[in-house]
A and B are shown apart, each in its own frame.
Chain A
Amino acid sequence: MKYQIVIAGIGGQGAVFLVKVLSIAAGLKDQKCLGTENHGMSQRGGSVSCYVKIGNFYSPAIDEGQADLLIALEGNEGLRNIQYLKKDGGTIVVNADDSFPNLEYKTIKIDAFAKATKGDLPIQALNVYMLGVALAKDPHFPFNVKEIEEAIRVMNAKVADKNIAVLHSAIEDSRSV
């Protein structure tokens, strides 16, 4: 199995956290995994893009036209990285409202900011929420709910229950997307 994920967002949204969770999930399944993340300048509210490659790879970076999945924690960051998706079969899971343009890729759109504004989602858990949406909506997503739950527990047991609750609310919300 080979599966490549680009995670795009803004510094502070927790893209790196998702790299950690996904690589832990791969490790728990004894799958090979290479990931890479941005630090430094990009942490300061700038654009952040991280890569996770599951399967037999040699290089942690992802080239254009290669990703199976793009998780965009914010709409514009999704558009900025859209060229990384595979032309046939690439899926974007994006936090955006109705103004997000129609793309040639399979697009799963959910307005997590609106949900957070209403007080239904803690904004710090936006990353886990979008991971939950990807998990629920992408049939090729390489991990099931149990595996991601376990990875979240390994990652940080203290806040795991809260994150897992957010994960489930994302899966629940995805039914109507």
Chain B
Amino acid sequence: MKQIMMGNEAIALGLIHANVDMISGYPGTPSSEIIGNFQKFSKQFGCDTYAQWATNEKVGFEVAYAGAMTGKRTCTTLKQVGLNVASDALMSASYIGHLGAMLLVSADDPGFHSSQTEQDSRSFAKFAKIPVFDPSTPQEAYDMVKIALDLSQKFQTPVMLRPVMRVSHAREICEVDESVDFKPNNGEFIRDIGRWAAVPPRGRFAQGVEQLKRIDEIAKHNWENFIKPKADKLKGSKTLCLTSGTGDGYVREAIEDMDIKADVLKLDIPYPLPKKEIERLFDNYENVIVFEETYPCIEEQLSSPKLHGKLTGDVHKIDEFSKDKVVKAFSNIGLTETNKSYQNEKYGGEVPVRPPNLCPGCPHRDVYYSIMKVFRKKKSIYPSDIGCYTLGLNQGAIDTVLCMGASIGMASGFSIADKSKTVIASIGDSTFTHSGVAPLINAVYQKHKFILFIMDNSVTAMTGRQATPERVNPGVVNLKNIVEGCGATCMEHIYTPDLDESINFMKEVKKKFETTEGPLVAIVREFCVLDKERAPQMLPGIYAEVDPDKCVACDICTTQYKCPPMHYNDEHKIEIDPFLCIGCDACIDDLCPTDAFIERKPK
């Protein structure tokens, strides 16, 4: 059956067809749509499954891993930086293994489209000694899910699927199974303390020896089942391209477009590789080039004077792949004329940059604006975190961004290291439950003096508005209870689109902070303007326009507030783009010193 699917949708359907009935993960672009689609397919086909967002990637991994221990077929999904969070669990799980099957989907983001690092999850798989599949298209991602879970079951090890953004967010007409015959394994925990709770040094040493043996066996399996059948069909050109994942597509198109003669051997499992068998293939070639995204994962496993890649400086080392980079590598090695290129002239004139910005009407903007009004820049440090609110950068309200949850640990560090300034940290609700609690307890017990704003929009907004713990179970999970349970003083403010109210709250926080020992937490109950359930009740639908006679072009709105509809027109007066204004009315009354923002009159 043919079906048009996005990569993440294809992965989700593959999981259903592979009889996976437990999936747990944390959202992160470009992995976020897998769990949502899995929930959709479960409902559509009437499959009884567990599919939930975990509070963070480590928790998600552990839930799925325990399932696999009992014999179930399970999956966890995360993005490459989320794998860092889950890595502690992964490293040990790779030693211990399981009775069922477990697929770890770690989606990479070459080119930093929406990530703070470009790390390669395949290299992480190599580090953890688990096999990894690298799909090049949604179709392959669908097919590989099933093969990877069978491999996981056969060798009793977690297996990774590593789609990059151009697979997860690609769309393709895929050939998928017609019917759903969903038969998940039963879960039954079988006590095996020597295995499940192996104690160092001897228990774990023995598992380490087994792990090495297992990965060698998988390398052999890789050769017999995946590489050899393709190697037998190579045509016998003078150049061999070893490819992996999306690198394969770029190479195939480029050699076709540019009429370059080369054999292409795609490695579906870039780790573990059968070193000797692959290197024996090199005898038939003058040059071998490795095209992979983004680290030299394959290249590091092989050695030959004929081998070219990132380590030899012939292939690019950072940023997303392109066909032009393939052609450049051929020319670097001297295999094509240097004039072959895809490059084309950019527009010669000036095109204004359009950086990401908080949505029109986003409460985060008002909160940051008010913080900046009350806590002056010269005397403050603003550590922040990962989420939509990182875009408070545009308002100058953020000084540091490191990783999930770091705002709080770093606030501690700054409060110790630079006592001349007030530390004002900001974090979202989802990020707080992800990894904010442990550093808050740390700050409470050591009495670190800083202010923490939890900007609670009750949704994981940046990644597509997944539900948060508090949202799913209101009253049961309560941020204020969590904060107070940690021992911190907690204030609470319910946001309204009235700048004066937000500023007044900041003044109260400032006053309270003077007499607070240790961290002061202020929860601002906000909403997301893209939240179809809550936003319509919260937005008053009062749209703004500008009275040009009152606008004195003072720049306050365009430099301190920065709402996307606000811009200068040809007469150098501020204008509101009527297509962008969302009708929050926050700018009317309190923002403009000359009261130029007024309610838009119906025409």
Interface residues of A (CB under 8 A from B): 10-11, 19-20, 23-24, 26-27, 30, 32-42, 44-47, 57-61, 63-66, 76-77, 79-80, 82-85, 87, 101, 103, 113, 116-117, 123
Contact = CB atoms under 8 A, between A and B. Distances in A.
Contact of A44 (B32, B249, B358): B358
Contacts of B169: 36-39
Given A34-B137, A45-B357, A58-B253, A79 B351 contact: yes
B492 interface: no
Interface of B: 2, 4, 6, 29-30, 32, 113-114, 136-137, 166, 169-173, 246, 248-250, 252-253, 320-324, 342-347, 349, 351-352, 354-360, 388, 391, 462-464, 564, 578-579
Q: Which 8 A-B pairs have the closest CB atoms?
A: A59-B249, A40-B114, A40-B29, A58-B249, A65-B344, A46-B356, A35-B171, A60-B170
15 contacts: A10-B354, A23-B4, A23-B171, A26-B173, A41-B113, A44-B356, A59-B166, A59-B250, A59-B252, A61-B166, A64-B324, A76-B352, A79-B349, A80-B347, A116-B579
Contact of A60 (B4, B249, B252, B355): B249
B356 A60 contact: no
Contact of A87 (B173, B248, B344, B352): B344
A123 B388 contact: no
Q: Is the interface of B mostly helix, strand, loop or mixed?
A: loop
Contact of A45 (B351, B352, B354): B354
Contacts of B246: 59, 61
Nearest to B464: A39
B353 to A, nearest CB: 8
Nearest to B354: A47
Contacts of B462: 40-41
B342 A63 contact: yes
Nearest to B345: A83
A89 to B, nearest CB: 13
A45 B564 contact: yes
Contacts of B252: 58-59
Nearest to A76: B351
Contacts of A44: 356-359, 388, 391
B357 A46 contact: yes
Which residue, of A45, A65, A117, has the highest number of chain B Cβ atoms within 10 A? A45
B248 A58 contact: yes
Given A39-B30, A46-B354, A64-B342, A57 B253 contact: yes
A10 B170 CA distance: 19
B342 A66 contact: yes
